[in-house]
């Protein structure tokens, strides 16, 4: 009976030691592991004593032996910090390598913004296209990415005139022949006239009088007008 009670206490003490070891620093855990491996059975008070002495030692460790445990942060949204632990006393220290905000952005394009390769944060952009001017026979093109925009616009032809062919009012290109004037026949009183532009050419022909005995009845051979009439 007494023996069973004692082993129950022993189990409880072991459990307590384990809890203490887990909440304690790593070196205490190492000590426990080493001692258990050697098969050394320790009493509860001895454990407490070790734990206390470790804590005292931590304060007394004059020459720390730092070992890099891990690195945290990405340098973008948080600092990159190296975490060191003293292998002798378990004391920890931190060293900031890179402060936050050091994004590593991709180049922004016409249609997409820069993205941080490390944290995915959005940077500059999108830049938008940088268009050339669209012409009559070529489209606007982005100088940066080569994408085609509006156009080609097509020519805007004017009607040809007597002296000028059809021309594009945008680019000045011409097409087709120069039509030339389209003259009517000259009459006795009216010179040659262009039916399209109204330009006159030459002189009126003048009347060609029939020779008559009575000058008051002289008639024009071409138009029949009687000499001395209003015409």
Q: Confirm or reject binding of residue 17 to Zn ion (CB under 5 A).
A: no
Which of residues 29, 55, 196, 227 is near Zn ion by CB under 5 A?
196
**Shortest distance, position 170 Cβ to Zn ion, whole Å:** 4
**Shortest distance, position 50 Cβ to Zn ion, whole Å:** 17
**Shortest distance, position 157 Cβ to Zn ion, whole Å:** 8
Residues in region 71-130 near Zn ion by CB under 5 A? 76, 86, 88-89, 91, 103, 110, 116, 118-119, 121, 129
CB atoms within 10 A of CB 51: 19
d(CA 187, CA 193): 10
State the DSSP code for 39. T
**Shortest distance, position 48 Cβ to Zn ion, whole Å:** 22
CB proximity list for 101: less than 8 A, separation 6 or greater: 75, 76
CB atoms within 10 A of CB 112: 13
Query: Which of 206, 183, 207, 178 shows the shortest CA–CA distance to 193?
Result: 183
Closest residue to Zn ion using C-beta atoms: 76
Which of residues 95, 158, 197, 210 is near Zn ion by CB under 5 A?
197
Q: Confirm or reject binding of residue 207 to Zn ion (CB under 5 A).
A: yes
CB atoms within 10 A of CB 97: 11
CB atoms within 10 A of CB 69: 13
Q: Confirm or reject binding of residue 168 to Zn ion (CB under 5 A).
A: yes
| CA distance readout (Å), 112 to 28, 29, 127, 143 | 55, 53, 7, 16
Which of residues 12, 49, 61, 107 is near Zn ion by CB under 5 A?
61
CB proximity list for 172: less than 8 A, separation 6 or greater: none
| CA distance readout (Å), 175 to 15, 114, 153, 165, 171 | 103, 49, 17, 6, 12
**Shortest distance, position 154 Cβ to Zn ion, whole Å:** 8
Site residue total, Zn ion (CB under 5 A): 33
Q: Which is nearer to Zn ion, 15 or 145 (CB)?
A: 145
**Shortest distance, position 173 Cβ to Zn ion, whole Å:** 5
Q: Name the residues that contact Zn ion, by CB under 5 A.
A: 61, 64, 76, 86, 88-89, 91, 103, 110, 116, 118-119, 121, 129, 136, 142, 144-145, 155, 162, 168, 170-171, 181, 188, 194, 196-197, 199, 207, 220, 222-223
């Amino acid at each position: 009976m007494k023996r069973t009670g004692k082993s129950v206490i022993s189990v409880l003490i072991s459990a307590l030691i384990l809890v203490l070891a887990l909440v304690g620093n790593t070196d205490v855990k190492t000590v426990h592991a080493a001692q258990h491996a050697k098969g050394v059975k320790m009493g509860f008070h001895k454990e407490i004593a070790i734990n206390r002495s470790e804590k005292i030692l931590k304060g007394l460790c004059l020459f720390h032996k730092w070992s890099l445990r891990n690195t945290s942060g990405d340098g973008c949204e948080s600092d990159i910090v190296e975490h060191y632990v003293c292998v002798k006393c378990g004391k920890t220290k931190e060293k900031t390598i890179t402060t936050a905000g050091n994004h590593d952005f991709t180049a922004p394009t016409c249609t997409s913004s820069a993205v941080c390769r490390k944290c995915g944060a959005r940077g500059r952009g999108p830049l938008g296209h940088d268009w050339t001017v669209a012409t009559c026979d070529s489209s606007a093109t982005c100088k940066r990415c080569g994408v085609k925009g509006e156009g080609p616009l097509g020519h805007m032809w004017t009607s040809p005139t007597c002296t000028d062919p059809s021309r594009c009012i945008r680019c000045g290109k011409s097409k087709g022949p120069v039509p030339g004037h389209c003259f009517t026949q000259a009459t006795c009183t009216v010179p040659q006239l262009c039916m399209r532009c109204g330009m006159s050419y030459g002189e009126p022909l003048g009347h060609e009088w029939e020779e008559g005995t009575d000058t008051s009845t002289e008639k024009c051979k071409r138009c029949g007008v009687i000499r001395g009439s209003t015409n």
